[in-house]
Structure 1
């Protein structure tokens, strides 16, 4: 998967979650060789974050911060590049303070949060990073205080409601379970609808690519529950013209991805699957990789009897 494609999703996703809390300087460029920051966040001074169910992400965003997200574990060079961007920001803050003839405080200097699905113990040791379990959860590693940097290892986070928003940015089973949890959130959750749309859009954009990598195919499957839920929401709200066509296309594309070009018999099951309740439909489509053609047809036949 190209980093550009995933970066765009991560930026939109984090922006949607953080916008109610403060100001987003999305894709802010720093002068040092024109490097781009994923998300630069400044919280509102009067924002009561307790009213927003953001858990660990909300705690991270209580102070000004930068977010750099990696789809794959960053290398030593990439970590140094993140630090370089952070200190370029510090340089801008210091120069601005000098022009205004005032001293700066530590609170004006943002902390850098590096988000990665996994990270080796060798890298953690090499960076001198440590967990602070009395204040933070497992999987959050802080570099020495003077560096104002922390690494969040998403796959090490406890799987609970507080970490849900960050786990969606993981990979494999971690991401799959988080997306399923997101679809099960109550409809009055302030983030549910827009995040489902972002995830569904990312899935559709990936599906349109040619020569998908194995990782991209995995992401498409991981995001399928969000896409199915989005279609179901559109159906219930009556917002989307052609919603049935979109649903049939989605099911057809998954079947073609598993079995190749569909013959008359397989084409005939598409509409049947579309009529299943969303939970049964999602379970069936997510299990396609483990089903043969005969097993699929047998399961559908037993469903009708």
Structure 2
């Protein structure tokens, strides 16, 4: 099945964020006429606390089995109906399994569909009677009638807060560019930041080899450039750290806590500058020279 660059990126992105907290299946085939759910997530019992780091995405994911259908452009009515068909098939499959096992599924435990759209026009929302629930949810999240168990997330209408960052990274134009800047500004020790940057780095390299990119694909690549450049700089820094640590291990057998502090200072130098220092200075001279810079 052919995947467009944004489709591939969105699935890999959501899988990267959600996999620590439960089972993620991308391109999950459902019965009936063959259809594929972009991302099907089933939370683990212990995921409810840790998944809070994902903000709105985490809140959505732990509710129940979750179908996530990201779109690069506003979906058409036909595309929304196709997503609803997938949802109803997943629910029907779950209910058939429960019947075979002589169990029941509570209404609140049934799967729910979340359509992730960069925008949603008034006409589209009206066509499916999708409405806000500001008493319980933030702006930008529009719920279809209760029995349908579906919602449209209009990414451009989400508030610009840390809780919505991971969705806004799937937006368009200025929304996505702003989200990339916020991602890069997160503390370097933030594990999710690190993992997402690595994923963007790998994804962008693979996509740049393609020759049939559309204007939408090119826009996506441009919007993610800052994140890509940050990931590349991070990779270079980590590569240089590994070189320095290997040089110190070669000289002194190991890199203990004292030498680890020296590594950070050596990384402020160019490879041409730090290489002879690591190979020529004694341990005592290295500690004396660089500890004085603390």
TM over 0.5: yes
Pairing of 1:90-239 with structure 2 (within 5 A):
90-238=91-239
**Structure 1: 5+ residue runs without aligned partners?**
242-305
Secondary structure at 1:27 match in 2: strand
CA contact under 8 A between 1:42 and 1:63: conserved in structure 2? no
Q: Which runs of 4+ in 1 moved over 6 A?
A: none
CA contact (8 A) 1:116 1:151 kept: yes
C-alpha contact 1:200 1:223 (8 A) present in aligned 2: no
In structure 2, the CA distance between the partners of 1:239 and 1:209, relative to structure 1 (3 Å rule), is farther
Of residues 208-217 and 95-104 in structure 1, the stretch that sits farther from structure 2 once superposed is: 208-217
Aligned alpha-carbon RMSD (Å):
1.9
Change beyond 3 A, Cα 1:44–1:84: same
* Aligned counterpart, 1:44: 44
Note the 1:80-99 alignment, pairs <5 A.
80-99=81-100
3-state secondary structure, aligned to 1:119 = coil
203-212 vs 151-160, greater mean Cα deviation: 203-212
CA drift at 1:78: 0.7
For residues 262-290 of structure 1, what are the alpha-carbon distances to aligned partners after superposition, in whole Å with 9 as ceiling and x for unaligned? xxxxxxxxxxxxxxxxxxxxxxxxxxxxx
What is the alpha-carbon distance in structure 2 between the residues aligned to residue 87 and residue 135 of structure 1?
25
Q: Is the 8 A contact 1:23 1:43 kept in 2?
A: yes
1:77 and 2:98 equivalent?
Answer: no
Partner of 1:35: 35
Query: How far did 1:204 drift?
Result: 2.3
TM (norm. structure 2) is: 0.77
Question: Whose radius of gyration is greater, 1 or 2?
Answer: 2
Q: Deviations over 1:57-101 (max 9, x none)?
A: 111112221101111111111111000000111111111011112
What is aligned with 1:252? Answer: none
**Post-superposition offset of 1:211:** 5.0
TM-score after normalising by structure 1: 0.74
Q: What residue is the counterpart of 1:22 in the other structure?
A: 22
Aligned residue pairs: how many? 240
Separation (CA, whole Å) in 1 of partners of 2:240 and 2:114: 38
